[in-house]
Structure 1
Amino acid sequence: MLAADPGVSVASIATEAGVDRRTVYRRFTSRDELLAAIYEARLTAIEDAIEDARLREAPVAVALHRYVENIIAVNRTWPVDLARMLTDDSVHARREASVREVDAFLERATGEGLLRPGLAGGWTNALLPQLMHLVARQLPDLSPAQAADVVVDTLLHGLGAS
């Protein structure tokens, strides 16, 4: 619901969850507190996805697929945009740590020959999250593993016939 309408009311969220809004308010004193908990859960899931992918030690092709698969699952489970919470210093710091980890992995993947060198600065780093976001929304019938196949194939081989 929050992905479709970030301004949705607590009452609507409670109705969708099948509980009374008082139940929600017993756990969260305000809408902002509820949103913070949701964003915290998404951020933690992203951090867990990165850790599980073993970006520093797994073979780069394996790590790339695992990371993409994990993030697609996160995007489907927690389809909310963290941008609204990035004004919070701790959230911003945690997100930046995740970005640095993925950036370092993409540099490693380039250095090991999986990704083509010489692309415009930051292009791969900008493209990969967009592909994951797109496949999570546009191909919902695919499992996270199947969706990761699409993303990785697109990233590595593009859309051309050759």
Structure 2
Amino acid sequence: MSESSPPERRRRVRAEARRNVAAILDAAIQVLGQRPQATMDDIAAAAGLSRQTVYAHFPSRDALVTAVFRRMTDEVLAGLDAARLDEGPAPAALRRLLEVSWRTFDRYPPLPAPTGAADVELHQPVHDRLTRLILRGQRAGEFDRDAAPGWLVAATIALGHAAWAEVVAGRMPADQAVAAVQASVLRVYGAEPAD
């Protein structure tokens, strides 16, 4: 008689696969943060797993980097949902959105973002939340009503990337960068300065 039933064995295999994926992603974040050009072999070694196990879950480096971005996006979305962006004045909600996003990005290595469909899929939920916030602020007269929401989203992303690049290059401390992003984005939105 077997040690465990087929359903129990499947549960164990799925649990092990989840642990392996988590270990691979944790290792990728650590290793790529130190050495952006690290190989899949480097990541496998840091995860304490075989190269074959890593490739079984992520068939390419691009697939692994996309999974890192997916994890980051999931964290941002959870943080944004907890920040209750539909409550309170829109400028205050925008500051919360920027703070949550920055805190999450600060925990991840600066990697080139996925391109094409993966980029759209990963960014769309964040874009949707930001667009809803912009429209709410415009209806309330808290944001410039003449500014196209798509432009404000693009400007927000560009300012965030510019600030992150300054931090990565060592030209600006992270706390100054997040303050600069918040102030700059609020200006672009035509919002009143914070008290």
* TM-score strictly above 0.5: yes
Q: 1:126 aligns with which of 130, 154, 158?
A: 154
Deviation readout 1:44-63 (Å, 9 max, x if unpaired): 11212321321112321221
Taking the aligned partners of 1:76 and 1:24, their CA distance within structure 2 comes to: 28
Please name the residue that 1:71 is paired with.
101
Match of 1:42 in 2: 72
Matches within 5 A, 1:27-106: 29=56, 30-32=58-60, 34-78=64-108, 79-84=110-115, 87=117, 95-106=123-134
TM-score, L = length of structure 1: 0.70
Q: Verify: 1:157 aligned to 2:187, yes or no.
A: yes
Q: What is the aligned counterpart of 2:145 among 111, 117, 120?
A: 117
Length-normalised TM-score, structure 2: 0.60
Report the count of equivalent residues: 149
The structural deviation recorded for 1:67 is 0.7
Task: Please tell me whether the aligned partners of residues 75 and 133 of structure 1 are also in contact (alpha carbons under 8 angstroms).
Answer: no
Aligned residue type for 2:173: D
Of all paired residues, the percent bearing the same amino acid is: 18
Q: Which runs of 5+ in 1 are unaligned?
A: none
Highest RCO, 1 vs 2 (Cα 8 Å, sep ≥ 6)? 1
User: For residue 12 of structure 2, what is the aligned residue in structure 1?
Assistant: none
User: What displacement does 1:147 show?
Assistant: 3.2
Paired residues of 2:65 and 2:114 also in contact (CA < 8 A)? no
How much does 1:113 deviate? 2.6
Which has the higher mean CA deviation after the structures are superposed, 111-120 or 99-108? 111-120
Partner AA of 1:104 in structure 2 = R
CA deviation after TM superposition for structure 1 residue 93, in Å: 5.0
Q: CA RMSD in A?
A: 3.2
SS at match of 2:117: coil
1:122 counterpart SS class: helix
Structure 2 counterpart of 1:83, one-letter code: P
- Structure with higher Rg: it is 2
CA 120–46 in structure 1, closer or farther in 2 if over 3 Å, else same: same
